[in-house]
Amino acid sequence: MDPKELLSVLHIAERLKDVPRHCYTSGGRRESVAEHSWRIALMAYFVSDEFPEADMDKVIKMCLIHDLGEAFTGDIPVFKKTEADEKREEELLFDWVASLPKPYSDEMSALYAEMAERKTLEARIYKAMDSLEAIIQHNESDISTWEPHEYALNREYAWDRVEFSEYLTALRKAVYEETEKKIEEK
């Protein structure tokens, strides 16, 4: 990639450092979208031994790019995002991806399509990491930052996204146990 094109791409991606997510960090500040993406990529790295048949480099790429659309729209929590919000984010993202030089535009377009379909092992692993990280982050934040509906959300969210894997189901159970302990200690 031409150095000036690379800088342009990096400037767009840098926006995610300033896009706050709904959740707070353990230190009491809003988490950024970039921090969320970094940690799900780290999670994928650490679970790679559990999925020897998966292309974990592809999973890590999915994790790194999955929220790039939020550089254009900001973060809208899953429980507030409408179809119109999703459509707008997709349009802005795909217009930007199409403007990237090849082979990046082609690869990213293919990755986004695979992620949306969630049929491949890699796409299912990525989506599980994305969902689990959100719950883990909620558990790490002070419970005073939780909205009332988040008690149920932390207990119920993502079970369907991990059921394809014994390991991820066990991880979800461990996260659930942390949620219950956090609520009890409140």
Q: Predicted confidence band at 59 (pLDDT cuts at 50, 70, 90)?
A: very high
pLDDT, residue 140, reads: 97
CB 115 within 8 A of CB 126: yes
Q: Predicted confidence band at 37 (pLDDT cuts at 50, 70, 90)?
A: very high
DSSP string, 32-101: EHHHHHHHHHHHHHHTGGG-TTS-HHHHHHHHHHTTTTHHHH----TTT--HHHHHHHHHHHHHHHHHSP
Q: Give per-residue pLDDT as tens, 163-172.
A: 999 999 999 9
Beta bridge partners of 30: 24
Does residue 142 sit in helix, strand or coil?
Answer: coil
* Residue 78 predicted with pLDDT over 90: no
Average pLDDT over residues 50-54: 98
H helix or E strand, kind and range, residue 31: strand 30-32
* Residue 1 predicted with pLDDT over 90: no
Q: Predicted confidence band at 77 (pLDDT cuts at 50, 70, 90)?
A: confident
Q: Give per-residue pLDDT as tens, 120-136.
A: 999 999 999 999 999 99
pTM for the structure as a whole: 0.95
CB 49 within 8 A of CB 160: no
Q: Predicted confidence band at 4 (pLDDT cuts at 50, 70, 90)?
A: very high
Question: Thinking of the domain 3-185, which architecture would CATH place it in?
Answer: Orthogonal Bundle (1.10)
* Residue 73 predicted with pLDDT over 90: yes
Average pLDDT over residues 51-56: 98
pLDDT, residue 9, reads: 94
Domain range annotation of the chain: 3-185
* Residue 80 predicted with pLDDT over 90: no
